[in-house]
């Protein structure tokens, strides 16, 4: 029942609005190894997409290119109508300048596998830095919003702690608050539970679930948590050997697909 509602809502958003992210024939090679072999992918506003696949299938590369941490070898990525890696200059497309990248990536936030908190700052400072220096918010506003966000992820009592004083799960929740306080339209999650002790995974997934319920933001999750993908995602994409091998509603992909590679992949997870 809930699944059919989910499918409906995602199909409505697809017909009613333009994609917020478009990958057009994107290739990416590292040296001689081609990791992505012509990716075409549209992501819609508010859509929750789970990327699954064996390691080396290119799923992390997909979101790292969107965050401008990797440059595609060829092809285009368009964010909210703006070309991410290229810009127009005298009527020609040329590689994007740092200035252009900063304009376009303002809508995107990311959470990393290894948290990447700033160790020399308290967790409150971790959250306040970008609002103050990037959004040019006043210190008091930034402080207030950061505290609200940290309370939301359940860390309101740790404001003045340093990252080294927190558990992995807490660190990852800080990292999410730090990204959310910038109010991105698209949030990227790069295997955010993979570096955590098993008993800490739940608290992090809980926060993601809450964010997902609010609905506004598009979310792309690279994950190995199949049950979680089934629960939260509108669409699951299975990547294999640099291409999209299967995609659709979570139940279709995870339970009904007859793609052999996908079967093998899921089998390894469930065993």
Partner 1 sequence: MINAIIEVFPVLMKGINITITVFILSTIFSYLFAFIAGLCRVSNNKLVRAGTSVYVEIFRGTSLIVQLFWLYYAIPMLFDVGIDNRLMAGVLAISLNYGAYMSEIVRGSILAVDKGQTEASIALNLSRAQRMRIVIFPQALRMMLPEFGNYLIQILKATSLVSLIGMTDILYHGNILRSTNLSAAPTVYLLLLVFYFIMALPLIFLTRKGEQISKRGVAS
The contact mask relative to partner 1 for 164-183 (x = CB under 8 A, - = no) is: x----------x--xx--x-
| Least spacing, CB of residue 190 vs partner 1, in Å | 10
Nearer to partner 1, 10 or 68 (CB): 68
How many CB atoms within 10 Å of residue 185? 17
Going by DSSP bridges, is the β-strand pair 186-190/33-43 parallel, antiparallel, or unpaired? unpaired
The contact mask relative to partner 1 for 107-146 (x = CB under 8 A, - = no) is: -xxx-x-xxxxxxx--------xx--xx------------
The footprint of partner 1 on residues 208-247 (CB under 8 A) is none
Contact present, 180 and 54 (Cβ < 8 Å)? no
Applying CB under 8 A, which of residues 98, 140, 199, 214 lies at the interface with partner 1? 98
DSSP labels for 220-244?
Answer: EEE-S-HHHHHHH-SEEEEEETTEE
| Least spacing, CB of residue 102 vs partner 1, in Å | 6
| Least spacing, CB of residue 106 vs partner 1, in Å | 5
Nearer to partner 1, 219 or 253 (CB): 219
Q: If binding is defined by CB under 8 A, does position 77 make contact with partner 1?
A: no
Contact present, 2 and 9 (Cβ < 8 Å)? no
How distant, in Å, are the alpha carbons of 114, 175, 214 from that of 118?
12, 10, 28
**CA distance from start to end of the chain:** 27
The footprint of partner 1 on residues 20-59 (CB under 8 A) is none
Q: How many helices (H) and strands (E) does the chain have?
A: 10, 12
Q: If binding is defined by CB under 8 A, does position 67 make contact with partner 1?
A: yes
Nearer to partner 1, 60 or 223 (CB): 60
| Least spacing, CB of residue 17 vs partner 1, in Å | 24
- DSSP 8-state secondary structure symbol assigned to residue 29: E
Using left for φ > 0, alpha for ψ between -120 and 50, and beta otherwise, residue 25 falls in left
Near partner 1 by CB under 8 A, which window of 36-44, 66-74, 142-150, 225-233? 66-74
Going by DSSP bridges, is the β-strand pair 243-248/235-240 parallel, antiparallel, or unpaired? antiparallel
Nearest to 193 by CA among 181, 179, 180, 207: 207
| Least spacing, CB of residue 186 vs partner 1, in Å | 11
Task: Give the footprint of partner 1 on this chain (CB under 8 A).
Answer: 67-69, 98, 102, 105-106, 108-110, 112, 114-120, 129-130, 133-134, 163-164, 175, 178-179, 182
């Amino acid at each position: 029942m809930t699944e059919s509602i989910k499918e409906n809502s995602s199909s409505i958003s697809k017909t009613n609005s333009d994609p917020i992210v478009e990958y057009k024939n994107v290739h990416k090679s590292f040296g001689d190894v081609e990791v992505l072999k012509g990716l075409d992918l549209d992501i819609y506003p508010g859509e929750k997409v789970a990327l699954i696949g064996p390691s080396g299938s290119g799923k992390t590369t997909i979101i790292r290119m969107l965050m401008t941490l990797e440059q595609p070898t060829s092809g285009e990525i368009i964010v909210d109508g703006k070309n991410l890696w290229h810009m127009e200059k005298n009527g020609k497309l040329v590689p994007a300048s740092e200035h252009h990248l900063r304009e376009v990536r303002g809508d995107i936030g990311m959470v990393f596998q290894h948290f990447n908190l700033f160790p020399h700052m308290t967790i409150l400072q971790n959250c306040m830095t970008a609002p103050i220096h990037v959004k040019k918010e006043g210190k008091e506003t930034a402080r207030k919003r950061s505290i609200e966000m940290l309370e939301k992820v359940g860390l309101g009592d740790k404001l003045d702690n340093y990252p080294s004083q927190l558990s992995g799960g807490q660190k990852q929740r800080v990292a999410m608050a730090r990204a959310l306080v910038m109010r991105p339209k698209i949030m990227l999650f790069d295997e955010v539970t993979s570096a955590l002790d098993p008993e800490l995974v739940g608290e992090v997934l809980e926060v993601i679930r809450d964010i997902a319920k609010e609905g506004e933001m598009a979310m792309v999750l690279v994950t190995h948590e199949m049950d979680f993908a089934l629960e939260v995602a509108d669409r699951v994409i299975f990547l294999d050997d640099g291409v999209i091998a299967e995609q659709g509603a979570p139940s279709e992909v995870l339970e009904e697909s007859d793609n052999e590679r996908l079967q093998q992949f899921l089998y390894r997870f469930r065993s």
